[in-house]
């Protein structure tokens, strides 16, 4: 399978920062010049500024967006327009003093709707006049809560989207989706054997939110929240009038949005969900 442009290089950067430099070849860049990258500065809700990277590959018809939170977590959103799939990945730094490994990776896969994000060809054409400008989204979209109660088998996931293989390789045991998304994909002919429904509160009456669970070894429902701070969610159109007075419209910019997501999913042990504690 061809390695596609969306989502690869930044993971590499993270690994270079986190791990001692490993010998061996670096993954090659894919395909001809259809790849583009834009780096924008974005203000976070606490006032700090972070850099966001937006990549578009119009050949593969995908977009990838990546930002680092103040605590070091790397958030990636990949939109695969061809397969109507979007993939969120969080690489969460472990707290070494708590005996956690270097990072924990989570992947959430859900349906990509039309018009959620601008098309990849428009994204590939985005430029900014002043790269130092600190941006804030023009529109705040409401928090979306997703019950991601189905696990996706990593080795079979490429059928759903070829990007799962690249993006979720650190999260092989932690790829989640929702029943309603699975229904949509099954209707499109995707192989159902890659999905496994996880235990629900209805099956396990003791199943609590991890926040309320005191025993580190008990199963519970974990919550993970993330926010995409700035993304081009719509195209703006302007009107022009030619010499004869005929009006026509053309794409003249983008509207930017911010959107938060909360994923609720089953973990077999509360210790896999240590960020979800009372604050
Ligand atoms: C995922 O699918 C592969 C290939 O069919 C299989 O060998 C493996 O056991 C599956 N993994 C899980 C966790 O079910």
Reported as a single tens digit per residue, the pLDDT across 199-244 is 887 777 788 999 999 899 999 999 999 999 999 999 998 888 988 9
Q: What's this model's pTM, rounded to 2 decimal places?
A: 0.85
Whether residue 105 has pLDDT greater than 80: yes
pLDDT of residue 269: 92
Quote the number of domains for the chain. 1
Given a contact cutoff of 8 angstroms between Cβ atoms, the answer to whether 159 and 190 are in contact is yes
Q: Could you tell me if residue 206 is inside a domain?
A: yes
pLDDT of residue 2: 45
Model confidence over 121-177: pLDDT tens digits? 999 988 888 889 999 999 999 899 999 999 999 999 999 999 999 999 999 999 999
Q: Could you tell me if residue 168 is inside a domain?
A: yes
Q: Out of 150, 152, 154, 155, give the residue to mutate to test ligand 1, the one with the largest number of ligand atoms within 8 Å of its CB.
A: 155
Protein residues whose CB sits closer than 6 Å to any atom of ligand 1: 153, 155-156
Q: Could you tell me if residue 30 is inside a domain?
A: no
Model confidence over 206-215: pLDDT tens digits? 889 999 998 9
Least confident interval from 11-15, 33-37, 72-76, 109-113: 11-15
Whether residue 256 has pLDDT greater than 60: yes
Q: How far is the CA of 107 from the centre of ligand 1 (A)?
A: 17
Q: Could you tell me if residue 182 is inside a domain?
A: yes
Q: How far is the CA of 153 from the centre of ligand 1 (A)?
A: 6
Residue that wins the pLDDT comparison between 93 and 186 = 186
Q: Could you tell me if residue 151 is inside a domain?
A: yes
Structural domain that includes position 167: 36-273
Helix (H, G, I), strand (E, B) or coil at 11: helix
Q: Could you tell me if residue 217 is inside a domain?
A: yes
Whether residue 56 has pLDDT greater than 80: yes
Q: How far is the CA of 174 from the centre of ligand 1 (A)?
A: 13
Q: How far is the CA of 8 from the centre of ligand 1 (A)?
A: 24
Whether residue 47 has pLDDT greater than 50: yes
Question: Euclidean distance between the first and final Cα of the chain, in Å?
Answer: 44
Q: Could you tell me if residue 202 is inside a domain?
A: yes
The partner residues of 111 in beta bridges, in order of sequence, read 85
C-beta neighbour count of 30 within 10 angstroms? 17
pLDDT of residue 17: 36
Whether residue 18 has pLDDT greater than 70: no
Helix (H, G, I), strand (E, B) or coil at 171: helix
Confidence band, pLDDT 50/70/90 cuts, at residue 54: very high
Residues 6+ apart with CB under 8 A from 33: none
Q: Out of 150, 152, 153, 172, give the residue to mutate to test ligand 1, the one with the largest number of ligand atoms within 8 Å of its CB.
A: 153
Tell me which long-range contacts 210-214 makes (C-beta under 8 A, separation of at least 24).
210/267, 210/270, 210/273, 210/276, 210/277, 211/276, 211/277, 211/278, 213/270
**Continuous H helices in the chain:** 8-18, 120-124, 163-167, 179-187
Confidence band, pLDDT 50/70/90 cuts, at residue 29: very low
Q: Which ligand 1 atom is nearest residue 151's CA?
A: 13
Q: Could you tell me if residue 106 is inside a domain?
A: yes
Q: How far is the CA of 56 from the centre of ligand 1 (A)?
A: 32
d(CA 36, CA 244): 38
């Amino acid at each position: 399978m061809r390695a596609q442009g969306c989502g690869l290089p930044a993971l590499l950067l993270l690994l270079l920062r986190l791990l001692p430099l490993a010998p061996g070849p670096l993954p090659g860049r894919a395909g001809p010049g259809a790849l583009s990258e834009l780096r924008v500065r974005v203000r976070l809700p606490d006032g700090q500024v972070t850099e966001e990277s937006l990549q578009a590959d119009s050949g593969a018809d995908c977009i990838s967006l990546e930002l680092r939170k103040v605590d070091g977590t790397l958030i990636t959103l990949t939109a695969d327009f061809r397969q109507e799939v979007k993939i969120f990945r969080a690489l969460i730094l472990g707290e070494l003093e708590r005996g956690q490994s270097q990072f924990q990776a989570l992947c959430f896969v859900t349906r990509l709707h039309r018009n959620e994000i601008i098309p990849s060809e428009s994204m590939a054409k985005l430029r900014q006049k002043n790269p130092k400008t600190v941006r804030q989204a023009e529109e705040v979209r409401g928090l979306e809560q997703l019950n991601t109660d189905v696990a996706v088998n990593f080795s079979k996931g490429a059928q759903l989207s070829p990007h799962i293989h690249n993006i979720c390789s650190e999260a092989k045991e932690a790829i989640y989706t929702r029943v309603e998304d699975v229904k949509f994909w099954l209707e499109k002919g995707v192989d159902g054997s890659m999905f496994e429904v996880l235990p629900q509160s209805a099956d396990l009456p003791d199943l609590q939110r991890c926040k309320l669970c005191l025993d580190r070894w008990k199963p519970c429902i974990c919550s993970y929240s993330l926010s995409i701070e700035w993304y081009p969610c719509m195209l703006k159109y302007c009107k022009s009038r030619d010499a004869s007075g005929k009006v026509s419209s053309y794409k003249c910019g983008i509207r930017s949005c911010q959107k938060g997501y909360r994923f609720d999913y089953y973990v077999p042990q509360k210790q896999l969900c240590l960020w979800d504690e009372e604050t």
